[in-house]
Amino acid sequence: MAGQHPKSMEWDARLKAMFDVLDADLEDRFSGRWSLRTNRPTRGETSNPEADGLFNVGAFFTPGYGSKHGRGYLVEIVVATEEDVGDDERREVESYATETLRSLLPKHFPERRLELDRDGNMYKIRGDLSLGSL
C-alpha cells in the first residue's frame, strides 16, 4: 500500500499471519459443525483464509475512546454460516479462539508485551503496539 511505513507493513503482515494460524486452528477444530454460507468458498479454495472456509478471523484497530482498556485491536471472529450458532456454541468458539490467541501472541510478537482482554462484547489485543522509532 502506497504511503505506509515499512514497520507498519511488517506489523500488519505479522498480525495477518497470526490470524491465519488461528483461522486454521478454528477450521480444524470446528470443521463440519455448521454448513458454509451458500456463497462462501470451501476452505483452501482461495489464497486468503479470510475469504474461504467456515471462519473469517481478523482485527481492526480502535483508539479506545470510552474503553477501560484503551487503544488496541478488536478481534473479530465470524462464523460463515446461515445456520443458527447457539450461545453455548459461540462461547465454545470464543473460548477456544481466545486460548489459542493467548498462546500465539508471544510466538508472533516475542519482543512485545501484548495481552488479550475482554472489552465489552469483544476481545482486544493491547499492550506494546508501538512501531519503535520511525
Q: CA end-to-end span of the chain, whole Å? A: 17
State the pLDDT at residue 120.
Answer: 85
Tens of pLDDT, residue by residue over 19-72, are: 999 999 999 999 999 999 999 999 999 999 999 999 999 899 999 898 888 999
Can you give the pTM of this predicted structure?
A: 0.90
pLDDT at 2: 55
Mean pLDDT calculated for residue range 126-134 = 79
Which residue from 56, 67, 64 is spatially nearest to 27, judged by alpha carbons? 56
Residue 133, pLDDT above cutoff 80: no
Q: How many helices (H) and strands (E) does the chain have?
A: 2, 4
Positive or negative, the CA dihedral 109, 21, 19, 13 is positive
Q: In terms of pLDDT, which residue wins out, 120 or 78?
A: 78
List pLDDT tens digits, range 57-91. 989 999 989 888 899 999 999 999 999 999 999 99
Helix then strand then coil, in percent of the chain rounded to 5, is 35, 20, 40
Mean pLDDT of the chain: 91
Cα separation, 73 vs 79, in Å, equals 19
Dihedral sign of CA atoms 131, 25, 33, 81 in order: positive
Given a cut of 90, is residue 132 above it in pLDDT? no
Q: Is a pLDDT exceeding 70 seen at residue 3?
A: no
